[in-house]
Amino acid sequence: MASDENLSPALDDIRVHVKLKLFALWSSVMFCYIYGDFFGLFKTGALQAIISGRTPVGAISEGVLLGMSVSVAIPSVMVFLSLVLPPRLNRWMNIILGAAYTVIMIVTMRGNWYFYIFLGFVEITLTALIVFYAWTWPKQRAR
């Protein structure tokens, strides 16, 4: 039988609320987006394409830039909304948007450079975790 002095104490830990997990996951997704876009500028011809008015989704226009802005604003705003929305709305927005951004990344990473594919897998993992944590949001008894 082992003596008590041979047992190491368990490390202290806290229970992290699902809202904080979602906040951290959306924050991590945003960092991956930012770095992916930044590293993309180093691809051969990327800056020349921007200067000549081309983007991966077509010619630069107000509409294209607005669409690109919306696509990055949603995850940015979800960082905040994950903390402040009421649980039911919060849960469903995270499930829907987490799933949508998972699909978007699956579609956009095909045939890309290795750094983008790597960040894509990280982003898919993070957005899938967003869906998982929102889906499995702990329930409490109604008062």
Cβ distance 102 to 128 under 8 Å? yes
Domain boundaries, the chain: 16-34+46-135
Measured between its terminal Cα atoms, the distance across the chain in Å is 48
Task: Supply the pTM of this predicted model.
Answer: 0.88
- What's CA 53's distance to the chain center, in Å? 28
The Cα–Cα gap between 126 and 24 comes to 10
pLDDT bin (cut points 50, 70, 90) of residue 72 is very high
pLDDT bin (cut points 50, 70, 90) of residue 8 is confident
Task: For residue range 13-37, list pLDDT tens digits in order.
Answer: 999 999 999 999 999 999 999 999 9
Output the pLDDT for position 136: 98
Residues 6+ positions from 134 with CB-CB distance below 8 Å: 18, 22, 90, 91, 92, 94, 95, 98
